[in-house]
Amino acid sequence: MRGPHNIWRLIRTGATFERTGAMRVVLEAMSVPPRLRFVARVMGWPFAWLGLKGDPALPPVTRALTALGPAYIKFGQILSTRPDIVGPDLANQLRYLQDKLPPFPQAQARAMIEAELERPVDEMFSEFSEPVAAASIAQVHHARVAGTGEEVAVKVLRPGIVRAFRRDIDAFYFAAGMVARLLPSTRRLRPIEVIAHFEGVVMGELDLRLETAAAAEFAANTEGDAGFRVPRPVWHLSARSVMTLGWAEGVSLGDNAAIDALGVDRAEMGERVLQLFLKHALRDGYFHGDMHQGNLKVSANGDLIAYDFGIMGQIDEYTRRVYAEILFGFIRKDYRRVAEVHFEAGYVPADRDIDEFARALRSVGEPIFGMDADHISMARLLNYLFEVTERFGMETRTELILLQRTMVVVEGVSRSLNPSINIWHVAQPVVEDYIRTTLGPAAFLRDLRRTMTVLGRFGPHLPGAVDTALLRLRQPEPPAPQGRSLAALGWFVAGAAVAWAGLLTVLYF
């Protein structure tokens, strides 16, 4: 699939942007230098007739993205949360992509549900509405469960969506491979691995059984979080292409006027969104990976309601600690410690100068502190961060892509509620609490106990393992393998000592 035929798809992408007028809008919004802007327009103009026409009623960029397909729409949803990067006008236009895309017919949705759940819709639901929201991957219907009368939201995948995504991702792989071959300097960004990560995330989103499980796990993790709600899934009415959740009544987090009408403090809500994301990422290691305004509501009592759990992020405990230490270092302006954490985690090659890296980090962080958020250009900041990573040979960490992307989206959502929000001040109590509970003396003892417990489980196997190693030593073997056996015996003996010491430690604590 990833052959030269994808060149046509990429040409058509550029041609669609030129034909719809989106090319000019994007180049201006991203502040591309006039000379490069002129070159891009000249190169794109001859191919404009090859582009897709799209819906002329939509603004140019929205028109181009909807014409190109679901993978492009996903990218537009991310940009819709960043008016500080693409400008407020373009961000507002792109919010259309969050939940206002054209729906497919109700009759088709009912047929898909019946085929998936093998029961008539009228037997499962006493009420089943026309689509109430439609996005790139699925649409939602309001319904009532037959018998109980429970209000639910029924999510149904778009017909042919899996094939459409595979086609787009195939073209992205081709483009990433071409970029890596033609521009060797970009290999540190690992473009192919980035697309592979994107593919994994998206293909998981296309199996609603996984989303149902994610909703259940996320609801359990966040049950005690004040001012936050997650609708519970209805398992017997969910399958691969259909998911049923409890109905969540509220206004969109992107509708500031409606939020004000509820009497909700938007500044406090902006802080809550950011702090909840950090809590979920650091405390649980499991967070909502698609927190744009289209997936968040505000209830009448002021609770924040999250839904659409197709993209969830997961990070291991070590990565959480690294991430927290980096944030904590920036909050305390301890750029030397931030630099040390990057080197300790292997994010920066060991042959680079740590002091020079610390100074580069200071040049990123210092302009932010003490300045109102509405005076900070995130576009310039991101551009400079890119320069820093390039200078120090930092490779893209695929395990952090979703975390970093979601952080950018969440900050954009918080800023839409309160343009003057200072993310560092808001993040400080959450990060400090995590640092206190995971990096102090009590946390060290807890980690030691857990380590010893794991090692202790191997205790019963160690005598047999030592006997096996000794028997191998008695057999005639070449010198090299014998050396390996001696080394193995040494490790077994050391492991036995550590394991039994672990058992004693566990009993003691």
CA atoms within 13 A on the CB side of 149: 0
| DSSP output for 387-454 | HHHHHTTPPP-GGGHHHHHHHHHHHHHHHHH-TT--HHHHHHHHHHHHHHHHSSHHHHHHHHHHHHHH
List the Cα angle 292/296/297 in 5-degree steps: 145
Q: Compute the distance between CA of residue 210 and CA of residue 296 in angstroms, rounded to an integer.
A: 20
Q: Compute the distance between CA of residue 27 and CA of residue 15 in angstroms, rounded to an integer.
A: 15
| DSSP output for 58-104 | S-HHHHHHHHH-HHHHHHHHHHTT-HHHH-HHHHHHHTHHHHBSPPP
Are residues 244 and 141 in contact, defined by beta-carbon separation less than 8 angstroms? Answer: no
Total count of residues recorded for the chain: 509
Q: Compute the distance between CA of residue 452 and CA of residue 445 in angstroms, rounded to an integer.
A: 10
| Tokens representing residue 304 in the block | 């924040």
Return phi, psi of residue 346, to 5°. 80, 15
Q: Compute the distance between CA of residue 280 and CA of residue 286 in angstroms, rounded to an integer.
A: 6
Are residues 285 and 322 in contact, defined by beta-carbon separation less than 8 angstroms? Answer: no
| Tokens representing residue 324 in the block | 């927290």
Residue with tokens 């750029």: 335
Of 242, 31, 29, nearest in space to 143 by CA: 242
Are residues 282 and 323 in contact, defined by beta-carbon separation less than 8 angstroms? Answer: yes
Are residues 310 and 162 in contact, defined by beta-carbon separation less than 8 angstroms? Answer: no
Name the E strands within 271-412: 286-288, 296-298, 304-306, 312-314
290 is catalytic: yes
Are residues 296 and 259 in contact, defined by beta-carbon separation less than 8 angstroms? Answer: no
Is residue 229 helix, strand or coil? strand
The type of residue at 175 is A
**Catalytic pick from 84, 170, 290, 308?**
290
| Tokens representing residue 15 in the block | 């041609």
The type of residue at 145 is V
Q: Would you please indicate which residues are annotated as catalytic (active-site) residues?
A: 290
